Amino acid sequence: MKIKACDAIIKCLEEENVEILFGYPGGAVLPLYESLRKSSIEHVLVRQEQSAAHMANGYSKASGNVGVCLATSGPGATNLITGIATAYMDSIPLIAITGQVSSELIGRDTFQEADISGASEPFTKHNYLVKDAAELPRIMKEAFYIANTGRKGPVLIDIPRDIQEEIINFVYPSKVSIRGYKPTYAGNTRQIDKAVKTINKAKKPIVCVGGGISSSHAKKELKQFIEKTKIPVICSLMGIDAFPNDSEYFSGLLGSHGYPYVNKSIHESDLLIVIGARFADRSTHMLNKSELTQNVIHIDIDPAEIGKNVSTNIPIVGDAKNILTALLDYEFTLNTDEWLSFLQKKRLAYRERILQKTENGDINPRRLVKMISEAMNDNGILTADVGLNQIWAAHCFNATHDRKYMTSGGLGTMGYSIPASIGAKFANSQADVVAVVGDGGFQMLLGELAVIAEHDLGIKIIIFNNSQLGMVKELQDNAYGKQSNYGVKIAFNPDFIKLADAYGIEGLRISKESEMENAVKQIFESKKTFLLECMIDPDFPSTPRLGGKLYE
């Protein structure tokens, strides 16, 4: 079938069952937009290209499918980079399609020319600069395969405008064969046998889970494994929703903003089982490899992550779902009753402490997050921005049933939560979607309120307003003392309620504990988008922020 390359690109997306893409048009992608106009694929016009990548990210996480974003050449493409890097750091599968100046103009400093394939190389799993229109069907097929297999991640396809308008013979490949790219899914049987023997000898084992559980769709298998072995579970920031946090086996959040008793439990345990987690610096904060338990089992799809940050004596390369399924066939004889009881008491005591009302009646943001998450439906989605709001949400989000917690864990991108919530809502219109954000992060991509209003998405937006960049202020306090608070005070904020009203969005401002219950009731009774501004004491801390060893 002879068709234009731009039509072929859209047909490739249709073959991959793409139902929606997030984009911003420009001269270098006009042929693509003309083809898209004739397609059944829905196009969402973002207000800034970075948001397109974040929306594709949120859509991917909520749907389990590959998200797609589209931008023109030059500044349109470069605006995508932060969103692409965000997805790359968190192993989120998405396809970024960019227009490029015509082939004969590349390298001539042409208007809106940027070497986006070169610029994005460190932040993509793979990228392409298309030089032959006939190669487009193969490239599109490969791109989706690479993005959504192995350790998932973003793939960028840069397509010059003249290439888009060429006539090609369109045949979409049924198979993919990429030399040198063969992800390992099934773990080594001998290593799994060794792991089981080690588990059965353990007295105080602990399982640490990360974003790899959700990525491999392994929540069910993880739950079955934990219920069979009765091993306590801790999680990284990206693993908040990997395991029900109301379970008797759940102990809490690990890391520099985690629970101190959880961090200490790693040292007290005699076996650490890491599944789908990188064990990056926010998890291991100032932890020497020699300080960890003697036995570490690390299960990960990416062999490069095993042993990179924490020494591992039983590495298992493979997909978390497959390996957990294999482990379920074994018999386990360990007894963890005393260890479980000890950690559960610690957890209950700590949660009671962090959920206390403030002495002066001001808002405890953790209590509000708990109330909001309990009001959400069973498949509710919370997108957290970056800053203190992210930590308060991570501590107290009620990740039960099929609820999802989304955030930018690796890159730490402020402004993420609003566009990510939009992508999540497009993926699951029946879910309660809540975006939690600080007053700083909210103003980074607030133009996307127009998208929320235009599509009447019914997203609930919670702004924690402490008139400062709270997490940066804490870092300054720890490093240089409180007298050093420079550049972190937000001396002027707009009236967020009036701003919401300008977009046709309902809004409410609260400042006291006594107002919280009615506010939560009001935002969930409304079927419309609702913005709740919560005035927070500037001195209300993340708690605990660690300056020394992980457990101090």
CB contact at 8 A, 284 and 134 = no
Residues ≥6 apart with Cβ < 8 Å to 468: 440, 485, 488, 489, 490, 538
Residues ≥6 apart with Cβ < 8 Å to 107: none
Lowest mean pLDDT among 135-139, 283-287, 359-363: 283-287
pLDDT band at 107 (very low <50, low <70, confident <90, very high): confident
Q: What is the pTM of this model?
A: 0.95
pLDDT band at 548 (very low <50, low <70, confident <90, very high): very low
Lowest mean pLDDT among 131-145, 355-369, 472-486: 472-486
Q: What percent of the chain is predicted at pLDDT more than 70?
A: 96
pLDDT tops 50 at residue 295: yes
Residues ≥6 apart with Cβ < 8 Å to 281: 256, 309
What's the distance, Cα to Cα, between the start and end of the chain in Å? 66
The more confidently predicted of residues 174 and 291 is 174
Arithmetic mean of pLDDT, 49-64: 98
> Mean pLDDT, the chain, as a whole number?
94
CA distance 247 to 226: 10
DSSP reduced 3-state for 89 = helix
CA distance 530 to 366: 20
What pLDDT is recorded for position 483? 76
Arithmetic mean of pLDDT, 193-202: 97
Give per-residue pLDDT as tens, 485-535: 899 999 999 999 999 999 999 999 999 999 999 999 999 999 999 999 999
Instruction: Give the Å distances, CA to CA, from 430 to 137, 377, 450, 458.
Output: 34, 9, 21, 10
The more confidently predicted of residues 484 and 62 is 62
Instruction: Indicate the length of the chain as a whole number.
Output: 552
Q: What token pair was written down for 546?
A: 């660690």
pLDDT band at 333 (very low <50, low <70, confident <90, very high): very high
pLDDT tops 80 at residue 360: yes
CA distance 209 to 231: 12
Give per-residue pLDDT as tens, 386-409: 999 999 999 999 998 889 999 999
CA distance 51 to 416: 8
CB contact at 8 A, 253 and 237 = yes
451 closest CA partner among 42, 165, 60: 42
286 closest CA partner among 267, 305, 272, 304: 267
What pLDDT is recorded for position 292? 59
CA distance 405 to 62: 10
Give per-residue pLDDT as tens, 213-233: 999 999 999 999 999 999 999
What pLDDT is recorded for position 282? 65
What pLDDT is recorded for position 547? 45
pLDDT band at 283 (very low <50, low <70, confident <90, very high): low
pLDDT tops 50 at residue 460: yes
Q: What percent of the chain is predicted at pLDDT more than 90?
A: 85
Arithmetic mean of pLDDT, 420-439: 98
Q: What token pair was written down for 417?
A: 């939560």
pLDDT tops 90 at residue 288: no
The more confidently predicted of residues 260 and 200 is 200
pLDDT tops 60 at residue 78: yes
Arithmetic mean of pLDDT, 98-120: 93
Give per-residue burial for 208-232: e unless 16+ CB within 10 Å, then b: bbbbbbbbbebbebbbebbeebbbb
State the helix-helix crossing angle for 5-15 and 136-147, rounded to 10 degrees. 30
Residue matched to tokens 């306590």: 232
What pLDDT is recorded for position 2? 94
What pLDDT is recorded for position 545? 46
Lowest mean pLDDT among 23-32, 305-314, 426-435: 305-314
Residue 75 DSSP class: H
pLDDT tops 50 at residue 135: yes
